[in-house]
Structure 1
Amino acid sequence: MKSLIYTLITLVSISSFSQKETLALDIKVRDDDQKNVFLENARVRVIQEGKVISEALSDSTGTIDKIVIPMQGFYAIKVDKEGYALKFGTITTSSANTRYASGTIKFPMVVGLVKPTEREDYTFLSEQPMIEFYIDSLGEQAWDDDYTSKMLEKVVKCQEGWTIEEVENYVAPRNEGITLLEDGNFDEAREAFKKAQEFNDNPEIKTALKDCDIAQTMTESNQIFYDKYIQIADQLLDNKRYEEARGYFELASGVMPYEVYPKEKMAQCEAIVSSGSE
């Protein structure tokens, strides 16, 4: 009996694993400057631990014959063509939750290659993966959106005529400024935006500086209204005019919704009115 149970468990385990052990790479290659132009004879290499384990060329539609690889370890997928800069992505399978996978996991990819220019040779694309794939908790293809967006911005700005050095010197302080602005640190945000502006004075950064001024003005105005509403509400509360006091505390909370004080006072007024005591 024990032998039969062990055999059944083993068979289930082997069957479960065999259904989830491969990735099917479905790759198309196009010219990233001409989105509808697909590239023939682009080379795709699948590399693991420094060794090429699969290699193929794209046909006239930019399509690579489907490549099936074991769902095991870490892969680099490198794509290149004469006259274009190399691009690559990575696939990490080590953290995959195979419990939810079913059969071969599909990995479709559309790879856009870019041509080097006099100002930018796109060497950084051979040093930094364009996209980092992994297997998500449902056993499906996934990637880091934030990382991919940052890489995409680098490529797009270089296509617009920037160098990668200009992009990186501009983007870092701009992003810092956005974070500072969201946190309400207006002076520091303004300095960060101005630092970015030194590298590239464009409409985006001019708008960011205006947004900073507007946000600071609105915050200062809100503070004035908040203080006034709280002053009136406190006086009404002292005079035991609870319903009116509650109304002004509510106005203050609407102006600055993250403040705890007016919410606590509103609750106090409501409790007093409900109890009928003064």
Structure 2
Amino acid sequence: MTTTATTTARRAPAAPGGVLRQMLRERVRSLLWWSIAVGALAAITGGSYPTVKEFGSGFDEMMEQMPEGVSEMLGASSGLVTPDGYLNSQFYSNIFPILLLVFGIMVAAWTVAGAEREGTLEPLLANPVSRTRVALERFAGVAVLLAVLTLVGTGVLAALRGPFELDPLGLNVFAAVGVATFLLALLFASLTFAVGAATGSKGAAIAVGAGLAAATYVVFALSAFVDFFDDLRWTSPWHWFLEPSPLTDGWTPASTLLPLAVIVPAVVIGTAVFARRDLR
């Protein structure tokens, strides 16, 4: 435990939102670097589309020769040369949500369990703040940080859709896919938070969050090839997110409402258990 971290925790404002503001101040530097990386990745991905489009016939012929399940797994059901097919296959069905998952799980594991392990949680709770408020405001901080990263990645593509030749995709489509991606990442972050808050174990929190993200992706990926996994496809948040894709169909109940049915109970249960358990 560092002296700076302890001092900051002891000075946490008692006013509503004080814990949230403190957390955001502590994470602003890492958020800046992550935002630069995500923005650069979005720009590179979008800027590459005109070249892919120019040689599009070859890419589509290659995809047509692959089994249908492969194109679904890659998010390229509508091809690689259409704007939605390209962004799905190269950005939204893989690398972007994975980056958000890594960031969200990392921060969510720290909010309670990580802070408890490093010794900065007890000084924070020495302030006139309840455990419930600390947990909820810190999870709100996770949501804010994820929202900023999502906005950066999607905002770059939306703002430069003209030069990137992505004009067929309207702002409403980018808003829909941005919200859906955010909720997908927040879902697994909420499970990480809940386990960490309930157990005080950062390792267990990360294992559950990352493990479920990987396991449900495997269910989704193999559902096109294996009947057993096809029967389980509806349980996968990746299925809610990618079929149908918000880039193709806009706002969908599966990608916007179903994640909330997991996020809200996870946060409530994790917070309730944390409020009652003994700290280590």
Bin for the TM-score computed over the shorter chain: under 0.3
Higher relative contact order (CA 8 A, sep 6+): 2
Q: 1 or 2, which has the higher helix percentage? A: 2
Structure 1 or 2: more strand by fraction:
1
Query: Could you say which structure has the larger radius of gyration?
Result: 1
Q: TM-score, normalised by structure 2?
A: 0.25
